Amino acid sequence: MILIINICNEKLHYFEFVKPIEDILIKNKIKFETKHYKKITKNDLEKASKIIICGTSLKDNEFLKHIDNFNWIKNFNKPILGICGGMHILGLIYDGKIQKNKQIGLIDNEYHLHHYLVNSNEFTYSKNKNQMKHKSKPFQGILFHPEVRNKEIIEEFMRD
């Protein structure tokens, strides 16, 4: 079962940032459960074979005030895909720093609408710092939203 973690503070943002990921999993007949990050339990983490931490809207950064809710990541060893804010969470849990991002718009076939990047010594980064992989754990992060134009990224994550 894949655990989808919703980090949206605004309830309507679910339809833009979480539901499209659920739809991809439904289309691929993948079992999943969606939970808001404030309601994650130890049992949810144990049942999950993989986790997707969804993104949220440009100005919805409430989750950053509750970064301690994600401390479980340090002891987690199953695959995690962090999208947008999910990538920020992964980096911050590993003592990363948020930095201003200057890339806005369609760049290299990826749509960027982000003000910030995250840098952590625990991750390796793509050339433009829009993708990252943990050096020893099965964690990866992407700043763009694959549920919009690159659904195959989510499908590949499910297969690996």
- Asked if residue 20 has pLDDT above 90, the reply is yes
Q: Residue 147 belongs to what H/E stretch? A: helix 146-149
Is a pLDDT exceeding 60 seen at residue 76? Answer: yes
Asked if pLDDT for residue 131 goes beyond 90, the answer is no
Name the strand (E) or helix (H) holding 98. Answer: strand 97-100
Mean pLDDT of 18-30: 95
**Residue 21, both tokens:** 């990921």
Cα 150 to Cα 146: distance, rounded to the nearest angstrom:
4
Q: Mean pLDDT across the stretch 11-35? A: 94
Radius of gyration of the chain (CA): 14
pLDDT at 116: 67
Please provide the average confidence, as pLDDT, over all residues in the chain: 87
Amino acid at 36: H
Average of pLDDT values for 119-140? 87
In this prediction, residue 110 has a pLDDT band, given cuts at 50, 70 and 90, of low
Residue 108, pLDDT > 70, answer: no
**CB 98 within 8 Å of CB 66:** no
CATH number at residue 131: 3.40.50.880
Give the rounded percent of residues in the chain with a pLDDT score beyond 70.
88
Both structure tokens of 128: 């433009």
Residue 63, domain extent: 2-159
Residue of 151, 110, 104 whose CA lies nearest to 131: 110
DSSP state of 103: -
Query: DSSP secondary-structure letter at 122?
Result: T
Total domains in the fold of the chain: 1
- Is the pLDDT score of 72 beyond 60? yes
pLDDT of residue 113: 52
The pTM (predicted TM-score) of the whole model is: 0.88
The per-residue pLDDT for 45 is 97
Position 63 pLDDT exceeds 80 = yes
